[in-house]
Chains A and B, each alone.
Chain A
């Protein structure tokens, strides 16, 4: 199993550009999520999905879109990049269990994004 994969590893954008961060998992997990991590801080939830066709907002969703057309893939789109979106982005996946919407989460290696 490859686990959770993310591409690209690094990206530099200019203000106003758009791009898509890719995330894929091969563990057949129902739950997938995107986080951002700013320097010296913990992770903050951007968007999440509990299955194909179902997405919802997290703590910091503004400026980002997601879709989930398959169980495996959960891309994150930046519509019009801003310097405030400079961060490290992590994708994660987990099973869904009765009694809780997520179990142990498995993280991808991260994408380091710089917006100039």
Chain B
């Protein structure tokens, strides 16, 4: 089935810094979604982005389906951005597969 790899596994930044999180997938996907899991365990939708670019405030995401990767950009990071960021890919063969996540820690 499809393999989903996220990098880096851990990222520590100072408040105000920018970051780029990457999601690579091994096969073509029908859908791709980015989630944020906050320190209390709650999973929050960020982007539904099988292709193209989307922006929502300080966050934006780009998926290049032909090259099998997606990027999540966080600008001017805040302590509330801390948590784990997951990408999840869906293909008809493999159903939905989550990456192992990037743990982001924003220091004040």
A interface with B by C-beta (< 8 Å): 33, 35, 40-45, 48, 58-59, 88, 90, 99-107, 109-110
Contacts and interface: CB of A to CB of B under 8 A. Distances in A.
A104 B99 contact: no
Nearest to B45: A104
Interface stretch (B12-20, B63-71, B73-81, B90-98): B90-98
A39 to B, nearest CB: 11
Nearest to A33: B96
Nearest to B90: A102
Given A88-B41, A110-B41, A42 B95 contact: no
Nearest to A56: B95
A59 B97 contact: yes
Contacts of B92: 101
A17 B95 CA distance: 30
Contacts, number: 53
Contact of B30 (A40, A100, A107): A100
B43 A42 contact: no
Chain B, interface residues (CB within 8 Å), range: 20 to 34
Contacts of B90: 100-102
A106 B50 CA distance: 17
B88 interface: yes
Q: Kindly list the 6 A-B residue pairs having the minimum CB-CB distance in the complex, ordered from nearest.
A: A42-B98, A107-B43, A104-B48, A43-B98, A100-B30, A42-B100
A110 B33 CA distance: 19
Contacts of A43: 86, 88, 98
B42 interface: yes
Contact of A105 (B45, B50, B101): B45
A58 B95 contact: yes
B33 A48 contact: no
Nearest to B6: A42
Contacts of A88: 41
B60 interface: no
A29 to B, nearest CB: 13
B30 A99 contact: yes
B48 A59 contact: no
A43 B50 CA distance: 19
